[in-house]
Structures are given as structure tokens and as C-alpha cells.
């Protein structure tokens, strides 16, 4: 195999670990997380900056083998921005082929069209409070199905009002599940919950379960 071919079968991985899924539809399930290195965005609240640059190259076969070694059904491929490495698409398909329930956490800034249809995609919509709202890729929205989720991380009342308007502007209610999550340390969770209830907003409120259990630490 040429060096180029070898590169096509590898990914740069920041960490692989076993924890409880803290967010989205599979929340609470024991899950293996595969965190890929690198992200082209710089959200002001980012809690995985350690994944921007650090990581080692691993063969895809070795990654699937390591995931299998944990003996759990759910796998979440995350980052960073996992789709920034094109081989991520191949990994997702290999994990589906191996029989795992696979989810992908992505920033919403990159094309999701080629992601294996068996994968549950959790796609961020970046609010103004993230300082990356200009990166939202609305071309992804028509591709979303009931298997997928759109996630808004709300930092303030301004973010909340913006998100409500954004949902309507892009015809998003009903297309897939919509998650509103308070920005950790920036948005009091109960305040966001009260706003959602007062507005009868048909979105799903969520807290990051892993941070309630363990705090803001890597590898959990």
C-alpha cells in the first residue's frame, strides 16, 4: 500500500473513552466516545479546546477494535469538528457496519450530506453568543430527518430570542428534534426552562448530564 493509501485509512484521534452519553437523544446510555482532533471554529464557550491540536494517528481498523473492546452498543463520534477529517465518513460507516448505534456531533459548519444514513446526527446551530454564527450551514437543514437533532447552546436572552426567530425563518420545527441547552456557567438553566415554558416553545430542554455528574473534565 502506498503512503497516500495508508493516510486514507487513518484518523487523528484526541481520545477514546467510555462514559454516559450526556446529551441529545441517547442521553444516559453507556457510550464509547471517539474524539477526533481539530476544529476550524473557535466558539467562545468551547469546552474541548484540548482537542484542537493534540492527538495521535490511528488506523481505522484499530479504532473500531478499540471501540469494540468496551463492550457497549452506543458510539458517539465527536470532536473538535469530526467532519474536518474526511476519513471520519469512512469510520462512521465502519462503525455502523459493525452493528453499533452511532451518533455524530458536528458544529453545523460543514456538509453532512455524505454521512452514512444510519448515523444519528447532532448538528449545532451556532448562536450569536458563540461568536461563530456566521458559520451555520443552512444547506444542511433540508437533509435532516427524524433521526437527527439540531442543538442550540443558549448563552443569553438575546441568544434565546435569536434562536426562536431562526427556527421559524428556516422552517425547522417538525423537521427533526430541536434541543435548547444552556451554556455551562453562562446561562442559568432554570431561567432558560422558564422562557421555554412561558413561550410554549416546542423544543427539548437539555442539561449536559456528564457535567452534572462529574463537572467540566476531559474524558467524561
Q: Where on the chain is the footprint of ligand SF4 (CB under 6 A)?
A: 39, 41-43, 46, 48, 79-81, 107
* Residue closer to ligand SF4, measured from CB, 107 or 163: 107
Rounded least distance, CB 88 to ligand SF4, Å: 14
In this structure, the strands spanning 177-182 and 101-106 are: unpaired
Considering the complex, state which of residue 43 and residue 67 has its C-beta at the smaller distance from ligand SF4: 43
- In the complex, minimum distance from the CB of residue 48 to ligand SF4, in angstroms, rounded to a whole number: 5
Q: How far is the CB of 75 from ligand SF4 (least distance, A)?
A: 18
Instruction: Report the nearest approach of ligand SF4 to the CB of residue 74 (Å).
Output: 20
Which is nearer to ligand SF4, 69 or 138 (by Cβ)? 138
Pick between residue 107 and residue 206 the one whose CB is nearest to ligand SF4. Answer: 107
Closest approach of ligand SF4 to the CB of residue 115, in Å: 16
The length of the chain is 220
Three-state secondary structure of the chain: CCHHHHHHCEEEEEEEEEEECCCCCCCCCEEEEEEECCCCCCCCCCCCHHHCCCCEEEEHHHHHHHHHCCCCCEEEEECCCHHHCCCHHHHHHHHHHCCCEEEEEECCCCCCCCCCCCCEEEEEECCHHHCCHHHCCHHHHHHCCCCCEEEEEECCHHHHHHHHHHHHHCCCECCEEEEEEECCCCCCHHHHHHHHHHCCCCCEECCCHHHHHHCCCCCC
**Choice between 46 and 62, CB closer to ligand SF4:** 46
* Pairwise CA distance, residues 120 & 166, whole Å: 22
- Among residues 129 and 141, whose Cβ is nearest to ligand SF4? 129
| Residue 34 beta carbon to ligand SF4: minimum distance, rounded to whole angstroms | 14
Amino acid at each position: 500500500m502506498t503512503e497516500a493509501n495508508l493516510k486514507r485509512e487513518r484518523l487523528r484521534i484526541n481520545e477514546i473513552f467510555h462514559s454516559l452519553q450526556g446529551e441529545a437523544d441517547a442521553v444516559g446510555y453507556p457510550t464509547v466516545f471517539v474524539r477526533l482532533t481539530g476544529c476550524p471554529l473557535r466558539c467562545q464557550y468551547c469546552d474541548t479546546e484540548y482537542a484542537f491540536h493534540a492527538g495521535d494517528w490511528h488506523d481505522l481498523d484499530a479504532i473500531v477494535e478499540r471501540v469494540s473492546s468496551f463492550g457497549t452498543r452506543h458510539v458517539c463520534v465527536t470532536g473538535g469538528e469530526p467532519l474536518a477529517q474526511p476519513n471520519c465518513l469512512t469510520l462512521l460507516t465502519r462503525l455502523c457496519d459493525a452493528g453499533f448505534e452511532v451518533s455524530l456531533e458536528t458544529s453545523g459548519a460543514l456538509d453532512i450530506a455524505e454521512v452514512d444514513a444510519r448515523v444519528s446526527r447532532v448538528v449545532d446551530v451556532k448562536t450569536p453568543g458563540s461568536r461563530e454564527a456566521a458559520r451555520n450551514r443552512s444547506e444542511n437543514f433540508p437533509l435532516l430527518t427524524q433521526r437527527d437533532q439540531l442543538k442550540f447552546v443558549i448563552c443569553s436572552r438575546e441568544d434565546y430570542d435569536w434562536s426562536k426567530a431562526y427556527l421559524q425563518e428556516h422552517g425547522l420545527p417538525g423537521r427533526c428534534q430541536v434541543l435548547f441547552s444552556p451554556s455551562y456557567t453562562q446561562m442559568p438553566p432554570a431561567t432558560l426552562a422558564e422562557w421555554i415554558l412561558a413561550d410554549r416553545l416546542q423544543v427539548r430542554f437539555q442539561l449536559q448530564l456528564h457535567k452534572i455528574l462529574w463537572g467540566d473534565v476531559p474524558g467524561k
